[in-house]
Structure 1
Amino acid sequence: MKFRRRGSEEPEINLIPFIDVLLVILIFLMLSTTYSRFTELQITLPTADAEKLKERPGEVIVAVSAEGRYAINRQAVDGRTVDALASALRAAAEGRSDAVVIVSADAATPHQAVINVMDAARRAGLPRLTFASQATAGSP
């Protein structure tokens, strides 16, 4: 009895479906990954390179201290609520809706104190708002 020896067949792995699956996984991971940019930023506020503007008659200057106290046109505001600040802004603007509110906040001021000024300006009907900053050391 003669047995025929079968030729040994090499197992073949088809790589095309494997590569397709890996590419789909790679695309999914690339799209679902979020990058945290906030940990990379070193921010020191407030400084800016800007030329000094001449004072205009329609300005209302709101100073915010590091403790969160407010002063409008160098007069202290009683209370720290948004309503008290809004009524003081209305009085300082003297009915002019085109007045510009300039927020001059300390660098260590709590963020909420600046947001309160923005909200009070909106309630007082003063939509034009800007922020004051000090010049950097290298600027003329």
Structure 2
Amino acid sequence: MKFRRKPRENVDINLASLIDVIFILLLFFVVSTTFTRETQLKVDLPEAASGAPREDTALKQMEVVIAADGNYSLNGQVLVKSDLEGLMAALGQASEGDNSLPLTISADAKTPHQAVITAMDAAGKLGFAHLRIATVEAEAAQP
């Protein structure tokens, strides 16, 4: 006995609705994702037993922050070139040639000494006279 075979039906999957769902998911993830960009260097300042508090003046102030690994940041902007020439170029551009501005160097307690000397050398070569090194007040020793 010979049975008749049914012809196979082609099964089609409608991809249009699947593509719509994928695009909606993509849009959701793009909108809900937050991109953080770290521009500030985290610095633990060294301690000092004596010192003067920082004065708030109306003058434009410049601050060089040196991270523990020796990377420089000028007024909150991380410098691409962390060497003497890069720091001098950034200081000259930010100060617009005015070397009478007060300059504060904030170095991490674990920063290599050479990085601090490089920052001081750059300031000296550009003629900055008002130079400060930021510290935190040391805690009094318990007797």
Coarse TM-score class (shorter-chain normalised):
0.5 to 0.7
The percentage of aligned residue pairs carrying the same residue is 33
Residue 46 (str. 1) matches residue 47 (str. 2): yes
Q: Secondary structure at the match of 2:93?
A: helix
Shift of 1:51: 4.4
The residue that corresponds to 1:35 in the other structure is none
CA distance in 1, matches of 2:72, 2:83: 10
Task: Specify which of 50, 57, 62 is matched with residue 64 of structure 2.
Answer: 62
Task: Give the structure-1-normalised TM-score.
Answer: 0.60
The residue that corresponds to 1:100 in the other structure is 102
The CA RMSD over aligned residues, in Å, is 1.7
Task: Specify which of 82, 99, 103 is matched with residue 84 of structure 2.
Answer: 82
Q: Secondary structure at the match of 1:130?
A: strand
Task: Give the structure-2-normalised TM-score.
Answer: 0.59
Please say which structure displays the higher CA radius of gyration.
1
Shift of 1:50: 3.4
Long gaps (5+) in structure 1: 1-44
Which range moved further: 106-115 or 88-97? 88-97
Q: Secondary structure at the match of 1:120?
A: helix
Q: Secondary structure at the match of 1:104?
A: strand
Superposition misfits of 4+ residues, deviation over 4 angstroms: none
Aligned residues: 94
Contact 2:47 2:138 in 1 (8 A): no
CA distance in 2, matches of 1:48, 1:91: 35
